[in-house]
Structure 1
Amino acid sequence: MKKYKIIIFAAIMGLTACADWLDVVPDGIPTLDMAFNSRVQALKYLATCYSYMPKNGGSADPTTLGGDDIWTRKTTHFSNRFSLAGLDISEGRQNATSPVLPRWASMYQALRVCNTFLENVHLVPDLQAWEREQWIAEAKVLKAYYHFCLVQMYGPVPIIRENLPVDVDVYSVKVEREPVDDCFNYIVQLLDEACDGNMLPTFVLDPATDYGRITKPIALSLKAKVLVTAASPLFNGNNDQATLKNHDGTPLFDTTFKPEKWESAMAACKQAIDICHEAGIMLYRFDDAANRFNDTTVLNITLRNAFNLRSNSEIIWANTQMISTPASGGMIHASMPKLNPDYVNSNNICKWLGMPIKIAEMFYTENGVPLDEDNTRNIGDKYNLRTAQAKDRLYIRQGRTTIDMHFEREPRFYAWVGFDGGVWFGAGQYNDKDASSLRYLAFKIGETDGTEGQGNWTGYIPKKFIPYEAQLNDINSISSPSYAWPIMRLSDLYLLYAEAINEVEGPNGANNAELFQYIDRVRARAGLKGVKESWDTYTNNQKYNTQSGMREIIQKERLIELSFEGQRFWDIRRWKTAPNEYHTPLQGWNMMVSIVDGTEEEVNRMMYQPQFLLEQKFGVRDYFWPIRISDIEVNPNLVQNIGW
């Protein structure tokens, strides 16, 4: 064991840009003795524990292209910069021989590293007791997180409580999967141990060097999400998994619904909210102290910054393993349009990532209710052509013709969705007093962002990924602020709490005031009225009065507020609504229309014809990843997930 070598992964290099404490060991391969012979060396080993965090929001993240909210075509030019492997999940090509974007091996490597740290950190001679306790707590939270990542992906898994000695017999190494409730219980146990006493700081001690390190708000917010997940239909009384058993007959899922799981989740959410408030974490709002912009623009900046402004006031936890930069080949570069006519000939900036029509339709109207429930609109008109007037000028280019459903939508739609004719505030143009000077998207062939056979195929861009200051420097170069990918924002936690209250007692129980308070806080920040006022005024029903109706409202609010952040992928699975979502065919607009194909009206009518893109597939087996067949051959005690 003393000769065990430790590899400090190259991923740490990405961390050093944001955190000086994550330095790389000079020779890269110290012995275990050296790793814990001083505080400096042990801190580097703690950095290694962090280095295994999954790469949220990139091409290695299955939620990016494996869901139903972001889509692109497989093109050689794009795949040179951004892996398209996730499309195999979206398009039903997952398999057990070579699973697509698995986390099995990497997470178990991570757990071994965390256990090694916990087993040896007491050996560090120059480490103060309080700091040792903090580091132990951080490692325990990371162990909990890595187990949770495995459970989300695979369901019940082998729990790695401690590393096995190197001389253990071969039969002890062949571990079995443990019941999924035991997995959740162990994860919560680790988080409770980490939060015991004052081991973790409430605040980031030094934002300049410690950004991304575990705090008490992070640990308690993770606990809240874990318990909400455990209480959700996928893991709570799921009869579809009744046949998943170990070889000795041990069932891996309890098929009995347990309401107390939601009660635990509700209490955990409230505890997490309280500590976040104590830490000064609050819903972000852009402070226009210089009074430069009007209210519409201030709200637009607020909503864009809430996700992609580094270390803003509502980020509970950001993944410094995944820094979004223009040069990273990540989400900024993959989504960025040209916008500037000077760069129309760029072949490298092609807004490759798009979103289907159904996601654009998902956002509320300006009245804060679904498009098909708003009694002020005729849903049959949604694809009819309209021309933007002066009142629309900060959302849609005045004089530009687009379709009815792009008008009078909620502010989050305009802040996070790019569409033909949509105003793009920023990108070098900031004078909202002169709307005609602002950038806008022009998607027809022959215009600035025309597709011409490559690039966007849907007619929509996930604008949320791109800071409003981002712009092209030259024909193939983007300048933009960078940011760490948010794992959890306060709005996420607020909506988890509202969901848990509704599942425990419905919308009319003892905690109904808090239920509506927290969902309405998220809506108010988005420029919308509260749930009750919106549904009373603009719909012909009061669905918020029933548990099922309120469940639908809360789920829709999560899908909108957390759109494109990777949360939808896991949410629709834990709710067991994924089959309905995936079975809605993906459609986009006709992006091969040229400005010379006819009159302006003819061109617009040709463009706004829904085009079939993909018939997705989703069955019971797709809720969980397959375990690689070769891993089962090595360890026959592992049973395969259903359907694989």
Structure 2
Amino acid sequence: MKFILYISVLSTMLCSCGKYLDVVPDGVATIENAFTSRTTAEKYLFTCYSYMPGHGDPATNTFVAGDEFWLPYPQTPQFYYNDPFEYLARGNQGIVNPRLNYWEGRDGGQPLFQGLRDCNIFLENIATVPGMQEREKRRWIAEAKFLKAYYHFWLLRMYGPVPIIRENLDISTGVDEVQVKREPVDSVFNYVIALLDEAAPDLPLVLENENDEHGRITRLVLLSVKAKILVEAASPLFNGNSDYASFGNPDGELLFSSAYDPEKWKRAADACKEAIEACQSAGLELYVFNPSVLSNPISEVTATKMSIRNSVAERWNSEIIWGNTNSLSNTMQALSQARVDPEKINNAGARSLLAPTLKIAELFYTENGVPISEDISWDYENRYAIKTAAAEDRYNLQEGYPTASLHFDRESRFYASLGFDGGTWYGQGQYDDNNAWTLNARAGGYSGRLSVSLFSVTGYWPKKLVHFQNLLQPGDGGGYSIVSYPWPVMRLADLYLLYAEALNEYSGPSPEAYKWINLVRERAGLKSVEESWSTYSRESAKYTTKQGFRSIIHQERLIELAFEGHRYWDIRRWKKAREAFSGNIQGWDIAQQEPELYYRVRTLFTRQFTTKEYFWPISEGSLIRNKKLVQNPGW
């Protein structure tokens, strides 16, 4: 129990990849000598950070677990790790060897219970370190408490009720005491929030030394994450979920309350407001692209799209609350990059694998800021018909190129977020938006399927995740120069939309709730919710009711945060997964060359999401070792 298995060094400079690197020292260090100096204690703190989940890694998060992306199957392992896609998206998860196993730290999952143990070791021993200022000790303690809270939350969101690891057990603890049981979800949420409240006063509002400390937890991060956790606790999956009314421990203790508590939304709204006010006092604001950094002028249309793309891909921009330096964007960018240059079609760096589904392409609004099925001026029934782009479409579509009507007259986030056949792709060394790259994704086209592995199976690409200054290199198997960024775990637009949601759920539509969603829409070049629905929607009064405004907020979140790792978790907490994740996964018929054949809807897979999939299974091995554990229902 007293051996330190991990002593880590934090690489804080982004150019050195921003990773928390595990380093095993010569000989064996004991806990006592790990806390004999400030330097060794700091290394142990960074060990606690090293368990942070890979938010931006599709092999360790849930990007391919739902309906947002699809992949060619089976995939060549050198280009993509198949397990999350095969076992989660295709419905093959099981109890013998669960994938993304964060309970035991296997098959893509971090060993979070081990992380909790190391956080406890740190908290038990930091007081003994000589020569440190008390202010710095309190800050480090607060960071460890945040990490401890966040690891509990990650497990809770994934598994439902989990054991609370308040402190480490003594080496002399008996077998019965070692076997711990799961605790009710409300108890776990309350414990997590209590830890965050303890930590908040001792964290700096913002980093005092950004060059050396990027990735460290600040009070802004803590307050924003607290708001997100309280929204999760108030949401239908955890607030009055009758599906789990009889789910309990072997001793009869129930783990879910089936009683809905509206005050949880009030608590969430208050936390969101506090976090927003802290962000404002720190100078954070929604990111807007500054075209003056470019050598050539760009259109207002392109500038708006760059504001949307760079709110994610521009590292440490004005709305990034938490960028995880332990989870860089390189893999996601490579998997998302389409082949846009016909002279560099053999570039293996452009893996072109993460393919947004047709459902996602239909999710974005029309240019009038309402759903395509509601817009009174948009031809929804003929959305798959062929139409040729005109000169006025040139900033979004290739002039004179036939493509689907679905791709016309859409909002800026559609064009900023998605690459598609006949669409434009600003960047890649070509910074003239009158002559931007275009995609030719039909059979035989330079963006289409050219090998057995590297292609978009739906005909779409998540352009939003790719930095506009990335460069494909020439030659067979040429390199790919990536402008890396820490994964944006939380940005200001996310927080604004959480606040609008919490306000609506507690007290219904209001000018205050409209305000925060409208700020996000304004950055995307859209009119307010009130004006857009009143003027353009078949459901003109939709925003005036709690249920209608809820639907608007949900869709706004799914659009604004598309491809950033939020959709799967949001749809689960709303208890919409059985509807959203069941049915046909669809794309275009990418094997066809003629537009009339290419733009036929093709079903790639059909699946049925079941109630049991709301929570991960605990492995059989864990249940055998710990008789006090009970399996999640349905597994």
TM-score (ref. length: structure 1)? 0.94
- C-alpha distance in 2 between matches for 1:354 and 1:569: 16
- C-alpha distance in 2 between matches for 1:259 and 1:205: 39
SS class of match (2:442) = coil
- C-alpha distance in 2 between matches for 1:190 and 1:64: 29
Q: 1:459 to 1:364 in 2, by over 3 A?
A: same
The correspondence for 2:535, drawn from 537, 561, 567, is: 537
Query: Match for residue 108 of structure 2?
Result: none
Do residues 397 (structure 1) and 398 (structure 2) align? Answer: yes
Query: Match for residue 497 of structure 2?
Result: 495
Query: Match for residue 600 of structure 1?
Result: none
The correspondence for 1:184, drawn from 182, 185, 189, is: 189
Mapping 1:351-390, distance limit 5 Å = 351-390=352-391
Mapping 1:550-589, distance limit 5 Å = 550-589=549-588
Query: Match for residue 597 of structure 1?
Result: none
- C-alpha distance in 1 between matches for 2:370 and 2:27: 55
- C-alpha distance in 2 between matches for 1:341 and 1:195: 52
Query: Match for residue 470 of structure 2?
Result: 470
Q: Is the 8 A contact 2:13 2:211 kept in 1?
A: no
Shift in Å at residue 348 of structure 1?
5.5
- C-alpha distance in 2 between matches for 1:381 and 1:138: 54
Shift in Å at residue 444 of structure 1?
1.7
Query: Match for residue 523 of structure 1?
Result: 521
Aligned length: 621
Do residues 504 (structure 1) and 506 (structure 2) align? Answer: yes
Do residues 225 (structure 1) and 200 (structure 2) align? Answer: no
Moved over 4 A (4+): 9-16, 18-26
Q: 1:20 to 1:605 in 2, by over 3 A?
A: closer
Q: Which runs of 5+ in 2 are unaligned?
A: 105-110
Query: Match for residue 417 of structure 1?
Result: 418
Shift in Å at residue 158 of structure 1?
0.2
Q: Which runs of 5+ in 1 are unaligned?
A: 595-602
Shift in Å at residue 338 of structure 1?
1.9
Query: Match for residue 57 of structure 2?
Result: 58
Query: Match for residue 175 of structure 2?
Result: 170
- C-alpha distance in 2 between matches for 1:446 and 1:20: 40
Q: Is the 8 A contact 1:22 1:43 kept in 2?
A: no
Q: Is the 8 A contact 1:224 1:269 kept in 2?
A: yes
Mapping 1:253-268, distance limit 5 Å = 253-268=256-271
Q: 1:311 to 1:25 in 2, by over 3 A?
A: farther
Per-residue Cα deviation, 1:261-281 (whole angstroms, up to 9, x for no partner): 111111111011111111111
- C-alpha distance in 1 between matches for 2:521 and 2:579: 26
Paired-residue identity, % = 46
- C-alpha distance in 2 between matches for 1:28 and 1:181: 44
Do residues 611 (structure 1) and 602 (structure 2) align? Answer: yes
Q: Match of 2:45, as an amino acid?
A: L
Mapping 1:5-84, distance limit 5 Å = 5-8=4-7, 17=16, 24=23, 27=26, 29-77=28-76, 79-84=77-82
SS class of match (1:444) = coil
Per-residue Cα deviation, 1:534-553 (whole angstroms, up to 9, x for no partner): 00110132101100000000
- C-alpha distance in 2 between matches for 1:608 and 1:20: 43
Shift in Å at residue 18 of structure 1?
5.3
Shift in Å at residue 57 of structure 1?
2.0
SS class of match (2:403) = strand
Q: Match of 1:515, as an amino acid?
A: A
Shift in Å at residue 438 of structure 1?
1.4
Q: Is the 8 A contact 1:6 1:31 kept in 2?
A: no
Query: Match for residue 288 of structure 2?
Result: 285
Do residues 629 (structure 1) and 620 (structure 2) align? Answer: yes
Q: CA RMSD, aligned part only?
A: 1.8
Q: Match of 1:178, as an amino acid?
A: E
SS class of match (2:254) = coil
Q: 1:71 to 1:400 in 2, by over 3 A?
A: same
SS class of match (1:571) = helix
SS class of match (1:64) = coil
Per-residue Cα deviation, 1:579-621 (whole angstroms, up to 9, x for no partner): 1111231101011123xxxxxxxx0000000111111221110
Shift in Å at residue 517 of structure 1?
0.6
Greater CA drift, 14-23 or 163-172 = 14-23
Per-residue Cα deviation, 1:224-280 (whole angstroms, up to 9, x for no partner): 011100000000000001121001110000000011111111111101111111111
SS class of match (1:614) = strand
- C-alpha distance in 1 between matches for 2:51 and 2:173: 26
Query: Match for residue 107 of structure 2?
Result: none
- C-alpha distance in 2 between matches for 1:176 and 1:12: 37
Per-residue Cα deviation, 1:542-576 (whole angstroms, up to 9, x for no partner): 10110000000000000000111111100000000
Query: Match for residue 4 of structure 1?
Result: 3
Q: Is the 8 A contact 2:418 2:464 kept in 1?
A: yes
Query: Match for residue 643 of structure 1?
Result: 634
Q: Is the 8 A contact 1:116 1:163 kept in 2?
A: yes
TM-score (ref. length: structure 2)? 0.95
Q: Match of 2:573, as an amino acid?
A: R
Q: 1:348 to 1:188 in 2, by over 3 A?
A: closer
The correspondence for 1:482, drawn from 481, 484, 488, is: 484
Mapping 1:311-326, distance limit 5 Å = 311-325=316-330
Per-residue Cα deviation, 1:438-492 (whole angstroms, up to 9, x for no partner): 1111112222112044421101011121101112022321112101111111101
Mapping 1:420-431, distance limit 5 Å = 420-431=421-432
Q: Match of 1:147, as an amino acid?
A: H
- C-alpha distance in 2 between matches for 1:253 and 1:288: 51
SS class of match (2:616) = coil
- C-alpha distance in 1 between matches for 2:500 and 2:182: 33
SS class of match (1:611) = strand
Q: Is the 8 A contact 1:588 1:613 kept in 2?
A: yes
Q: Is the 8 A contact 1:13 1:24 kept in 2?
A: no
The correspondence for 2:121, drawn from 116, 134, 139, is: 116
Q: Is the 8 A contact 2:365 2:371 kept in 1?
A: yes
SS class of match (1:97) = coil
Query: Match for residue 144 of structure 2?
Result: 139
SS class of match (1:63) = coil
Q: Is the 8 A contact 1:16 1:23 kept in 2?
A: no
- C-alpha distance in 2 between matches for 1:587 and 1:81: 23
SS class of match (1:394) = coil
Q: Match of 1:297, as an amino acid?
A: T
Shift in Å at residue 76 of structure 1?
4.2
Q: Is the 8 A contact 2:152 2:164 kept in 1?
A: yes
- C-alpha distance in 2 between matches for 1:30 and 1:617: 51
Mapping 1:143-154, distance limit 5 Å = 143-154=148-159
- C-alpha distance in 2 between matches for 1:28 and 1:379: 68
- C-alpha distance in 2 between matches for 1:447 and 1:468: 22
- C-alpha distance in 1 between matches for 2:66 and 2:9: 29
Q: Match of 1:165, as an amino acid?
A: D
Shift in Å at residue 26 of structure 1?
5.0
Q: 1:29 to 1:534 in 2, by over 3 A?
A: farther
Q: Is the 8 A contact 1:23 1:44 kept in 2?
A: no
SS class of match (1:615) = strand
Q: Match of 2:559, as an amino acid?
A: I
Shift in Å at residue 342 of structure 1?
1.1
Q: 1:23 to 1:277 in 2, by over 3 A?
A: farther
SS class of match (1:585) = strand
Greater CA drift, 46-55 or 68-77 = 68-77
